[in-house]
Amino acid sequence: ETGVTQTPRHLVMGMTNKKSLKCEQHLGHNAMYWYKQSAKKPLELMFVYNFKEQTENNSVPSRFSPECPNSSHLFLHLHTLQPEDSALYLCASSLTGTAMNTEAFFGQGTRLTVV
């Protein structure tokens, strides 16, 4: 257990569906991240939130919509996805704003399949 929990672990959705991925951490971290992990490709950073404010959007299509209501919770809202969006979506959190090593703690991921 890393202290970062993602739900659901697996999700199958049609291209016309709307679903949401959830991530929560109670580590006292102030930064949260969404990463996409596809086969044989580097982990892709999608979004970064610091103190609930989005500080990075890595040219992610608008069919992915993040939401960070507080420093402990992060959502990824999905709508009209494509089959190529099928991947493992990983959430991570870290403590930022210090000169110390900023270890990122990862959740177990949501395995998304778009049919």
Partner 1 sequence: GEDVEQSLFLSVREGDSSVINCTYTDSSSTYLYWYKQEPGAGLQLLTYIFSNMDMKQDQRLTVLLNKKDKHLSLRIADTQTGDSAIYFCAELGGFQKLVFGTGTRLLVSP
- Interface positions with partner 1 (CB under 8 A): 2, 4, 6, 31, 33, 35, 40-43, 45, 48, 50, 55-56, 90, 92, 94, 96, 101-109
- Nearest approach, Cβ of 97 to partner 1 (angstroms)? 9
- Nearest approach, Cβ of 68 to partner 1 (angstroms)? 15
Cis before residue 69, ω within 30 degrees of 0? no
Whose Cβ is closer to partner 1: residue 6's or residue 71's?
6
